[in-house]
Chains A and B, each alone.
Chain A
Amino acid sequence: MQRQFEVTRRDGAARLGTLRWRGEELTTPSSFESKEELEFLNGLTIQKAELDVAVITSQEDSRAERIDADVVILGGAPRFSDDPRGLTKALARARESANPDSALYVPTLATPNNVSLLVYAGVDLVDPIMAEVKAREGYLLSAEGERQFDAVSRSYCMCDACRGVNVADLTPEQRVTVLSAHNRHALKTELCIVRENIERGTLRELVEARCRTAPMLTALLRLLDEEHSYFERRSPIVRTATLLACSQESLNRPEILRFGERVIERLNKRGGILILLPCSARKPYSRSRSHRIILNRLGKLRQFLHEAIITSPIGIVPRGLEIMYPASNYDIPVTGKWTCDESEWVIGRLTKYLEANAFDTVVAHVSGPYRKVCDEAAAALGVDLIYTVEDENILGSASLQRLCAVVQERIVEDSLKRRDLRFDYLQDLADYEFGPHASTAIFAERTKVRGLFPTYYASDGGTRIATIVGTYCTLALTIEGARRYRRASENRYCVHIDDFVPKGTVFAIGVLNADPGIRPFDEVIVLNERVIAVGRALMSGWEMQASKRGAAVAVRHVDAR
């Protein structure tokens, strides 16, 4: 059957899409408008016609088989209007029960206040029924919440419905007319804002702002964050927008947790000397004034060191990953004080990082809250760190002098092997993106690194293997790089297609099999009998398998042989 819904853009579980029905194209997430539309859809649940519509109940457990319909309706949703736990489970279950290229319609629940969270959780379609109910209960709705109409002052709103209206003069019927028009308008406006944020990849930032306005919504977001794998499986590995960590919930963002996990699980284990540095406002850190001063002072000593940056809320950023999202672009409120949650999280990350890598010496060139984090982590592990900062001034000449002296002292014969510092970026990115030991498979002893920061590239005897590409600073493999990786990696990050040579885009319908671990914007290898292309994933691997519509991979290089 021809599918009538197509996802065109993803931002975590939220999607922009197009629903073709009644001879029109509806851009989702969107709200139905008229009773006629609702009746029409209702009719389709009984008699299948132009659109395949299925209803699942809010009681149901996950099904063994995904429901294959254009529109899937989550029945009975208003029962969750003040039950965030039930709503979280029902939404995740509904989304998982439906095919990824089914539109999920959650009826009679949306308000301007909660619709961003509904969409964030994976809802594509809503309706104005709750806005109308609230109008009849006397509530004026806005993205900030609801207010009793009688209690609002005269100049409460500038929308067409409200302008020039004096609350006191209205009959009950007129009040409902005004409130209904206002509430519908507020819902539509909020949906515009939601779509705009999905387009930019910043819906999470909007949701963190909106959830502040009601305990129910804050609870909802926190409970949604507990469904980590649901969101992680849908979250892109990179984005261009800056991650704004303005709230407690920011610590639980899927990409922050994922970054933390990958640093421990995927990166090459190290020994030798580690130097810990505080983060900087400017990203990447090595371009900041503070880091430049420290790194310049260390000079050639750097070739014997591993560097890692301590930061909230990302945790620990090895130098090579400083150009990778979210370490490359995030912003936090800087007050010089860390909250307990922040400290605890960063202490945990540092402890795990030190535990996973067998450093001989750990030098902490930090002060203030960073020093406290290092103390706590060292205490937890029962190890000693060497602190090099004097007078709380990381850039003071005494501190820098001590740093160099400490490092100099500890360089042992073994660690005298000089490294190309640029190689750190390639190696770390390879492991971070493709999994443990990917760098060993892709790069060889004789591999040369060239290029300007941060777009380094690696070649072997004149053959390009991999390049750090500009937009997102991901490591892109060439066909040769892909072959090397493939030999060592089974089918990880592989997309199997039928026997054709892709041009430009591989569509989901053409995908035979894909690694379910692939995430949007991952670099992937396209193959049939042989490695035939490399490109950037546009949807998750499990989604490529289950979808019938939409672009799956944007092809970068093809081996047209």
Chain B
Amino acid sequence: MRTGRTSRRRYPRQAASGTNGHRTHDRFAWTGLDLLNGEIVPSLTILLTTKGCSWARRDGCTMCGYIADSNPDAQSSDIQKQLFEVLARYGTGFKIAKLFTSGSFLDQEEVPIDARDAILSALADTPKVIVESRPEFVTSEILDDVVRFNRHLEVAIGLETSNDDIRNGCINKGFTFRDFVRASKVAHSKGLTVKAYLLLKPPFLTELEALEDAIQSTHEAAPHADTISLNLCNVQKGTLVEALWKKRLYRPPWLWTAVEVLKRVKQMATIICDPVGGGTARGPHNCGKCDRQVVSEIKEFSLSQDSTSFTAACTDQLLWNYVLEFEKFSYGAPLVP
């Protein structure tokens, strides 16, 4: 789960169908605004099709369906070609480039070294290049290699939660908080910045447990991360979360819960949030009447870090409050869809 992806990516299987590593620019790259050193700057997001996340190929997380986007035959040349096509179209005048591979950019199995180095060299002048990786690939050795080509890297790690029981019991992430802390230290020691992804509402948690876990995780991750990205869980195809959702045993988080987390933790870290699929049944949602406004306020907050962004009020807050307090008494299912 990562931030920066828009709802265009919500149906990955459809997106991947009929393509063999060759994709149209519009679906796999887009521009936006992001925060860089307190300033709002233009950013370019690029999705790269690789052979897929090493963990997803072997086991996989309960909420992640991105493996469906991968191409088992993706060659180094395919990956490079995708990037250069995007750059040819959008140019290199962006302050931030985000490279999303649906896996670990630093995994040499997934992104072969020549592709990795070519891509990083091409973006050497961009003030910030964000790549994603599982902590096991954030090693001193690999980072020494990559900083030769690009010194403005930010390593984004899907920590999801600081609670090992939740990360491995509910998400099946397959690493520990200590792994994250180690990776973060290594990255910082090489002069790189670190972003931690936190997942709001993994399956099997009540709304209140999810809220408390996100706040606790922010507290614990903040000392090790330059930016925290709060990712609101959405229902992706082919995942355990989807199976639970279809059985009415899972509901994506309320947008109010996200607002509450952002309000309560804002002093601790730079915290950003893009409510992917906000206001839909598969994405984070409220009652339906207030969703649009709350989504836009969350996006606004991500850029301003100013909690006075949050002005929306709706009668469904009374219901949300009640859900927080009483959902646990259902013993395993959300109170409202």
Residues of A within 8 A of B (CB): 35, 38, 42, 55, 57-59, 73-80, 83, 107-108, 127, 129-130, 132-133, 136-138, 172-173, 176
Contact = CB atoms under 8 A, between A and B. Distances in A.
A57 B249 CA distance: 11
Given A107-B330, A136-B322, A79 B248 contact: yes
Contacts of B334: 78-79
24 contacts: A38-B326, A38-B329, A55-B331, A57-B331, A59-B247, A74-B331, A75-B331, A76-B330, A76-B332, A77-B333, A78-B248, A78-B333, A79-B247, A79-B248, A79-B333, A83-B248, A107-B329, A108-B335, A127-B329, A129-B329, A133-B322, A133-B336, A136-B315, A172-B315
B333 A173 contact: no
Nearest to B313: A172
B25 interface: no
Contacts of B333: 58, 75-79, 108
Given A78-B248, A83-B248, A136-B322, 11 more contacts: A35-B326, A38-B326, A75-B331, A77-B333, A78-B335, A108-B329, A108-B330, A108-B333, A133-B319, A133-B335, A136-B316
Nearest to A39: B329
A137 B249 contact: no
B318 A176 contact: yes
Contacts of A129: 326, 329-330, 335
Contacts of A73: 331
A172 B322 CA distance: 14
B331 A137 contact: no
A127 B330 CA distance: 10
Nearest to B337: A81
A107 B330 CA distance: 5
Contacts of B335: 78, 108, 129-130, 133
Contacts of B332: 57-58, 75-76
Contacts of B325: 35
Q: Which 8 A-B pairs have the closest CB atoms?
A: A75-B331, A79-B248, A76-B332, A76-B333, A136-B319, A75-B332, A108-B330, A79-B333
Interface in B232-265: 247-249
Interface in B278-337: 315-316, 318-319, 322-323, 325-326, 328-336
B283 to A, nearest CB: 20
A176 B320 CA distance: 13
Contact of A172 (B318, B323, B326): B318
A35 B325 CA distance: 9
Contacts of B315: 136, 138, 172
Interface string B31-72: 000000000000000000000000000000000000000000
B72 to A, nearest CB: 33
A33 to B, nearest CB: 13
Nearest to A75: B331
A137 B328 contact: no
Nearest to A55: B331
A326 to B, nearest CB: 39
Interface string B265-283: 0000000000000000000
Given A35-B325, A78-B335, A79-B249, A137 B330 contact: no
A138 B326 CA distance: 18
B285 to A, nearest CB: 15
